[in-house]
């Protein structure tokens, strides 16, 4: 009868701590395993990137800085006149090849504009250099452009 005299409380709360622990462990497991779920196609061979050092000496080179300035062989040009500039340069080249050197921060739409201009100017080969312009090279291109603008 001692049990009947005590007022027994019903336990109505749910302890969610073990449930939270289980979810955190599952989250960590998924974070560790998720990178291995990425599809890897072994049938595709990724081409090697040429540095562009040996090929740019005899070809036309379009350089694009991270600010969006375009240069053809070190001479700053207006992006709107790119096609005509490329057409004028084409007869002076050994072969109608074009090298595109762009900074890593340049949007791909700018490179597509150069590709379309090269196609319109009927260049046979377009090479996209795999290395971005160095800061020293960007600085020298800007200085050359400023000196050209001051002299004109």
pLDDT at residue 55 greater than cutoff 50: no
**What average pLDDT does this structure show over 141-152?**
70
110 falls within a domain: yes
pLDDT at residue 24 greater than cutoff 50: yes
CATH classification of the domain holding 112 = 3.30.420.270
Distance between CA 117 and CA 105 in Å, rounded?
21
20 falls within a domain: no
- What percent of the chain stands above pLDDT 90? 7
4 falls within a domain: no
DSSP string, the chain: -HHHHS-PPP------HHHHHHHHHHHHHHHHHGGGGS---TTPPPPPPP-STTTTTTSEEEEE-TT--EEETTEEE-GGGHHHHHHHHGGGSSS-EEEEEE-TTS-HHHHHHHHHHHHHTT-SEEEE-SSPPPHHHHHHHHHHHHHHHHH-
Q: What is the pLDDT of residue 65?
A: 81
143 falls within a domain: yes
pLDDT at residue 147 greater than cutoff 80: no
93 falls within a domain: yes
Q: What is the pLDDT of residue 26?
A: 95
pLDDT digits (tens, 9 = 90+) for 91-106: 888 778 888 887 777 7
71 falls within a domain: yes
- Cβ–Cβ under 8 Å, residues 130 and 102: no
29 falls within a domain: no
58 phi and psi, to 5 degrees? -105, 0
Sign of the torsion formed by the C-alpha atoms of 51, 93, 144 and 119: negative
pLDDT digits (tens, 9 = 90+) for 106-142: 788 888 888 888 888 888 888 777 655 666 777 777 7
Domain count, the chain: 1
Q: What is the pTM of this model?
A: 0.51
Q: What is the span of the domain harbouring residue 119?
A: 60-151
144 falls within a domain: yes
Q: What is the pLDDT of residue 151?
A: 57
pLDDT digits (tens, 9 = 90+) for 76-92: 888 888 888 888 888 88
């Amino acid at each position: 009868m001692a049990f009947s005299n005590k007022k027994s409380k019903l336990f109505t709360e749910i302890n969610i701590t073990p449930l939270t622990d289980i979810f955190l462990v599952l989250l960590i497991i998924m974070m560790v395993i998720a990178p291995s779920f990425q599809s890897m196609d072994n049938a595709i061979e990724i081409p090697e990137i040429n540095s562009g050092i040996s090929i740019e000496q005899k070809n036309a080179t379009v350089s694009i800085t991270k600010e969006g300035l375009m240069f053809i062989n070190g001479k700053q040009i207006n992006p709107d006149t790119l096609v005509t500039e490329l057409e004028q340069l084409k007869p002076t080249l050994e072969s109608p090849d074009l090298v595109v050197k762009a900074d890593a921060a340049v949007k791909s739409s700018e490179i597509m504009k150069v590709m379309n201009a090269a196609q319109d100017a009927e260049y046979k080969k377009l090479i996209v250099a795999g290395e971005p312009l160095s800061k020293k090279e960007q600085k020298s291109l800007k200085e050359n452009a400023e000196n050209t603008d001051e002299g004109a």
